[in-house]
Structure 1
């Protein structure tokens, strides 16, 4: 992975102390800790462990956060940003499994912060069509998550 010099950073972007730049494309910067992109009012910093999915197609990087928020980033000259995003997001996943529930299922994942060692953050992502506020489904998903925690020791 090629490291990019800080002088190539977009104007107005501030990185955390010690944050290393891995790839730059215009106003989009991938670091060892987060994806930074222009959102109209400044820069959004999205830590890798908060990225549920990222898809690169036709010059657009579409990023979905855990919890469902979506961001679309246009990359005219993508360079290594798409590959870096994929690698960084994948590196945060400790465990990920899909569990069947009535009418669909839920993806249960544990992810660590990209930098340093921290406690994993557990997430439940329900299949389309399932209501994550349904108390019965939520209880079943949480029970499955607890079982996975016990099995993995996380």
Structure 2
């Protein structure tokens, strides 16, 4: 498959009008996982609703070569279970390369800071094509209590400093 051309062999109903499939893979269960410049698309084989996850909302994507399992977790809220999907894939090199490149391109800033009880990361994510304000996310270490007023104060200060550094203060 050539990058930049729409692949007519797969049907992805969540594509926006100008989106084009850059890479895709078909999972062992028949689900289609496709990547465009702007998002990861999943069309489940079981008839469930297809999903479109903008790259800036993909928290992590992991590949387990031993089991050929591709796992994707989405950005979520503290205390809530994060949406996660896993697929057993065959030939998927192009899709995996695209996912790595697009997720990396969405990160504007990522910084680990000390807070009471441990540490946290302040992360700014933006659509790889730009044009939108960054999405700011905190990731707390497991030992940190985000409800602690001291943690909230430290998080607010870290966010203000990060925004200032990227010119958004």
Settle same-fold status: TM greater than 0.5: yes
User: Could you tell me how far apart the structure 2 residues matched to 1:97 and 1:145 are?
Assistant: 10
Whichever structure has more strand as a proportion of its residues is 1
Change (3 A) 1:22 1:133: farther
Counterpart secondary structure, 1:83: helix
> Of the candidates 130, 134, 143, which is equivalent to residue 129 of structure 1?
143
Aligned partners of 2:6 and 2:20 also within 8 Å: no
Q: Secondary structure at the match of 1:8?
A: coil
Deviation at 1:117, TM superposition (A): 1.4
Counterpart contact for 2:69–2:88, Cα < 8 Å: yes
Moved over 6 A (4+): none
Q: Is the 8 A contact 1:23 1:79 kept in 2?
A: no
Instruction: After TM superposition, list the pairs within 5 Å mapping 1:87-98 onto structure 2.
Output: 87-98=101-112
Question: How does the TM-score come out when normalised to structure 2?
Answer: 0.81
Number of the residue aligned with 1:7: 8
CA displacement at 1:83 relative to structure 2 = 1.1
- What residue is the counterpart of 1:36 in the other structure? 41
Q: Mean Cα displacement is larger for which, 80-89 or 37-46?
A: 37-46
> Which is worse superposed, 131-140 or 141-150?
131-140
User: Any gaps of 5 or more consecutive residues in structure 1?
Assistant: none
Question: What runs of 5+ residues in structure 2 fail to find an aligned partner?
Answer: 27-31, 77-81
Contact 1:4 1:24 in 2 (8 A): no
**Equivalent residue for 2:73, pick from 58, 64, 88:** 64
Q: Deviations along 1:25-48, whole A, 9 cap, x unmatched? A: 011101111111134413111110
TM-score, structure 1 normalization: 0.88
CA apart distance, 1:145: 0.7
Give the aligned CA root-mean-square deviation in angstroms: 1.9
User: 1:4–1:25: structure 2 CA closer, same or farther, 3 Å change rule?
Assistant: farther
Are the counterparts in 1 of residues 116 and 144 from structure 2 also a CA contact under 8 Å?
no
- Paired residues in the alignment total 153
The separation in 2 between residues aligned to 1:5 and 1:120, in whole angstroms, is 28
